[in-house]
Structure 1
Amino acid sequence: MTAPKRLTDRKRNAIIQAAISEFRASGFEITSMDKIAATAGVSKRTVYNHFPSKEELFAEILHQLWTSISTQAEIAYQRDQPLRQQLEKVLRAKLQLLADDNFLNLARVAIAAAIHSPERAQNMVARLGEREEGLTLWIRAALADGRLKPLDPEFAAQQIHGLLKGFAFWPQITMGQAALTADMQSQVVESAMDLFLGHYQA
């Protein structure tokens, strides 16, 4: 009984990966279910058995993007630990996600859809923002513990995300640059911590 399920799962994954490839290459509007089926090596009927429409297939791709973000290691605030040590764990977990090829591929698809179909992207962008809540929660907890100066947690979290993505997301997404080396990751993390704690630490 398990073999057919595994085969079904493999076909479903092949369809999703083919869709990611085709959406990246041609965009959402131009990509057809026929092309996705051909790239996946399955019949068009199989594609429709898994995904009744192209919109639902695209929604599944976005769902995987949300999942990859939301399952990123959450670092809970600890009152008895140095802020810098905790923040470093949070930022390194974030950089690990940003360096993941599958995450970057999904993000490219989502961004391309946002550019070509802003109305389709509005809800997507809102949900992406919601998924970056881990750092906001950590900042809010440190603020409540009196270890940070008065600040807007969402604004401060966005500042840190901007510092990281300026090196480890947007150059890779828009210019095809290579992922950061370990030394460069450390430099980005240390610099971001210096700026954040230098400005906000109580």
Structure 2
Amino acid sequence: MTIPLRLTDRKRRAILDAAADQFRAQGFDAASVDGIAALAQVSKRTVYNHFPSKEELFAETVMEMFERNAGLVELDYSRERGLREQLIDLMMLKMRTLADRDFVDLARVAVGEAIHAPERALPLLARLGEREEGVTAWIRAAQRDGRLKPGDPLFASTMLQGQIKSFAFWPQVAFGAAPLPAAQQAQVVEAAVSMFLAYFAVDAAA
């Protein structure tokens, strides 16, 4: 049975949803707390009761969107399945999150802030870096099982996902490119996984 949210939680949810809409549509500087409050149908004071500043509201909005998408990239490591098969499944999940237009739009605002106001964006990027994503956790488990070479799992995860993002994230964020069609998604994933295993797998036939 789903437990209904308390009124204060419903208001916080409405504020975050409204903030995501406003930041995606207008960017950080143009979005206003007044506009966010009106869209959320709460008072400006209520917004500040939940979030002490527009900067903090922006940070929480980005963090929540990141965690919502990161939560979709979850695949428990299995020693009974081949590494290639598992990694392809995992990277296709990643592709699905990167194709989310709301996520891409908000990421574009966050990247813009990192360029124009690094003092505001860098603490947010540090918070994002503290989250262990599903891909990193999967690699850590495969290393413990002796099927991937030992080393920093975050480094290995960044290498793998960087190849995916170079086709299916950064062109969309920086240049407004369309999401990759399904056939090209599969091609990119297959190539990225093959290169990853060629370097990191203990058994090249994994």
The whole-number CA distance in structure 2 between the counterparts of 1:132 and 1:179 is 26
1:41-74 Cα offsets, whole Å, 9 max, x none, are 7654564465453233223312312321441232
- Give 1:150 shift: 4.1
User: Is 1:23 aligned to 2:44, yes or no?
Assistant: no
Task: Note the alpha carbon deviations across 1:56-96, whole angstroms, 9 max, x for none.
Answer: 32233123123214412321211121111111121111111
Cα 1:158–1:14 change in 2 (3 A) is same
Aligned residues: 199
- The 2-side partners of 1:193 and 1:3 are apart by 41
Provide the C-alpha distance between the structure 2 equivalents of 1:61 and 1:188, rounded to a whole number of angstroms: 30
Per mean C-alpha deviation after superposition, the further-off stretch among 49-58 and 71-80 is: 49-58
Q: Does the aligned pair in 1 maintain the 2:98–2:168 contact within 8 Å?
A: yes
Distance 1:148 1:107 in 2: 31
Residue matched to 1:131:
131
8 A contact 2:164–2:192 mirrored in 1: yes
1:62 match = 62
Which position in structure 2 is the counterpart of 1:91? 91
Matched, 1:174 2:174: yes
Change (3 A) 1:32 1:117: same
Using the size of structure 2 for normalisation, the TM-score is 0.79
Question: Percentage identity across aligned positions?
Answer: 53
CA contact (8 A) 1:65 1:107 kept: no
- Residue by residue over 1:104-161, the C-alpha shift from the partner in whole angstroms, topping out at 9 and shown as x without a partner, is 2332232222222212222211222233532222222222222223443221111111
Where does structure 2 lack aligned partners over 5 or more consecutive residues?
A: none
How far residue 23 of structure 1 moved from its aligned partner, in angstroms, is 3.1
Report the more deviating stretch, 62-71 or 98-107.
62-71
Task: Report the secondary structure of 1:104's partner residue.
Answer: helix
Equivalents in 2 of 1:201, 1:185: separation in Å?
Answer: 23
What is the CA–CA distance in structure 1 between the aligned matches of 2:153 and 2:50, rounded to whole Å? 41
Distance in 2 (alpha carbons) for counterparts of 1:149 and 1:4: 48
| 2:71 counterpart letter in structure 1 | T
Q: Secondary structure at the match of 1:120?
A: helix
Q: Which moved more, 1:44-53 or 1:149-158?
A: 44-53
Quick one: distance in 2 between partners of 1:60 and 1:82?
Answer: 38
CA RMSD of aligned residues (A): 2.8
Q: TM-score, normalised by structure 1?
A: 0.81
After TM superposition, the structure 1 stretch with the greater mean CA deviation from structure 2, 86-95 or 108-117, is 108-117
1:32-51 correspondence runs (5 A):
32-37=32-37, 44=44, 47-48=47-48, 51=51
Following TM superposition, by how much is the alpha carbon of 1:38 offset from its aligned partner in structure 2, in angstroms? 5.1
